[in-house]
Each structure stands twice: as C-alpha cells, then as structure tokens.
Amino acid sequence: MLDRLRDLTQRAYLRHLRREIEDVPTHVAIIQDGNRRYARERGEDAPDGHRAGADTTERVLDWCADLGVAELTLYAFSTENFERPDEELEPLFDLLEDKLRDFADADRVHEQGVRVRAIGDVDRLPAHVRDAVEYAERRTADNDRFTLNVALAYGGRTELLDAATAIARDVDDDDLDPDDVDVETVEDRLYDRPVRDVDLIVRTGGDERTSNFLPWHANGNEAAVYFCAPYWPEFSEVEFLRAIRTYQSREESWRRARAERAVALVRAVAEVEIAEAHAVARRLRARLPIDADALAAALPGDAEGPDEGGPAPETAARTPTGESDAEPESAD
C-alpha cells in the first residue's frame, strides 16, 4: 500500500514538473558521478556500478528526446581515471566497448536520429575501445536529429592546453598570424567539439564541482549548473526535470535582468536627450534675446503698418473675438 501511494505521488509530481517546463536547454552535459559508491554501498564491485550507470544513460536519452533537447554530452571517462587500478579499468573499458557497439546498432537510436561522437584524447584508449568508437561514429554518421557526445579520456585543461600549443606551433611555422587568432581559431583546435555551447551542466553523486568539464563550451556560455545527491545509477526523471527547471529559472532571471537593463538604458538616454535639449534652448535664449515688439515689427503684414513700399492696410487688426482693437473716432 505504501509503495503504491509513493508511486502515485511520484507520478503526480512528474506531471507537475512537466507542466512547469517551458524553456528547454539545447545542450545538456552530465557528469555521471557515483557509480563506484553505488556499488560499494551494495556490497558489489565497481564494474557492477558502471553497468547500472549505463542503464541510466539509456533512460536519459529517452528523457532528452521527450523534451526536445538537441544535444547531450556525457562525461564517461576523464584523463584522471587512467590512474585507477587495472582490475577496475579493464572491465570499464570492456563495458565502454560493448555499450558503444550496442548503441550504434540499436534500432531506436536510428529511429531517433542519434549521432554518436567521441570527444577527448581517444588515442590514449585501448585499441578495442578506439575501434568501438570508430564503429559507433561511422554507423550513426548520417543521423542528424540528436547529437550524443561521449567524453572519453577527456580533460578540460588538457583540451585548452592542446589548443594553445597547436596555435603557438602554427604561429611559429608562419602558418598563422597572431593578429588573426580569434574564438573560431581556438575552437578549430579543440577536440571534435560539441556542435553547440553548453546550456546546462548536471552532476550527480553529491559533489558540487564541475571537475574541469567543458570549460570553453560551458563556462564561456555561463551555463546553468545543477548538483544533486543521487548516484548516477539512481538518477531519476524527477531529478532530470528539476535540473531543466534550474536552467529555466536562470533563463527567466536573465530575461528580467536584460529587460531591466534595457529600460534603464532607455531612461538614461531620454534623460540625456532632455538635458541636452534644455541646454540648447538656454544657449539660444542667451545668444538670441527675443523682444516681442521687435518680433512683431519683423513679421510681414503686421498691424503696425505695411512693409516698406507697400500699401497701407485698409482695416484695423481684429481681436480674437472679431472686435476691432482700433480706438473709435470722436464724434463731433
């Protein structure tokens, strides 16, 4: 009974979260943390945790497809992970190989138009994993509705350092003018980069840090960040929608801030324009003092008399009421 009530409550909360979602990020990046801790707390080995995490990855792909997210980047294996013991790395490499091949052959992957790309120093991976990467990229190369980037042997600082080194080498070889170095120059020398800047980073497992993940594409875009406690194998659709809501709140805050800045700018410009108009008027009054009588005399056809050489007016000027303002003649 309690489980049924909990299930009903969760489904109701999911519906509530879905109704709240209006703005969806184009590119979500996820740091899949907590696989080993998940296994350890259950008395299992690390590879068991990684296999459970792989199942979560497949569910996240479905959630992205449902919401309309266009690109997903998964931090599957960092450069620091090479320091783990061989008895942990070998099963992990085998799992990566199997999942890449299975994913590339899955019917739903091609039905959803998913293209797989690996980013990172892939050459450092074992040959069988590199072969699986090449297979997955080749099998999904024609898909264009959704992009899945798998970060393998990836490190953000290493990526930027390699790009800077490549630029310096090109400059030293006279293949590049230093004055021509711009954003596009750097991006061309990053790893096979994500198509889009990152809008939202999600990290599971409780740690509140982005671990050197996509610094150029996420930090440069001021991506929203969502940290959550569940380990990656426990990551649920509720947590995913909460992360999307965090992005949406950030976007709404930015829109308000931009609108407020625009209003403030318009007011500031208006105040300057008004102040300048008053200043011009004051300068004109100071330089061109206006005498009412002189102005009246200067106007053509005025009541004082004709222009020089012109005939005298036959009637007196009229007041606004139509009455003559000339003095009546005295009666004899």
Both tokens assigned to 74: 């998964």
**Which letter does DSSP use for residue 178 in this model?**
G
Q: Which one is catalytic: 81, 143, 212, 219? A: 81
The SS3 of residue 270 is: helix
Q: Whole-angstrom Cα distance, residue 199 to residue 201?
A: 7
Per DSSP bridges, beta strands 71-78 and 146-154 are parallel
Is 221 among the catalytic positions?
no
The set of residues, in sequence order, having a beta carbon less than 8 Å from that of 29 and lying 6+ positions away, is 72, 73, 74, 75, 198, 200, 201, 202, 213, 214, 217, 218, 223
What is the chain's alpha carbon radius of gyration, rounded to the nearest angstrom? 37
Q: Tell me which H or E stretch contains 309.
A: none
The one-letter code for the residue type at 70 is A
Both tokens assigned to 248: 């949406």
The count of other CB atoms within 10 Å of the CB of residue 150 is: 25
Q: Whole-angstrom Cα distance, residue 162 to residue 216?
A: 13
Sign of torsion, CA 295 301 302 304? positive
Q: Whole-angstrom Cα distance, residue 293 to residue 304?
A: 10
**226 - beta bridge partners?**
202
For 67-123, give the DSSP string.
Answer: HT--EEEEEEEEGGGGGS-HHHHHHHHHHHHHHHHHHHH-HHHHHTTEEEEEES-GG
Is 81 among the catalytic positions?
yes
Q: Which one is catalytic: 33, 35, 48, 149? A: 33
Positions marked catalytic: 33, 81
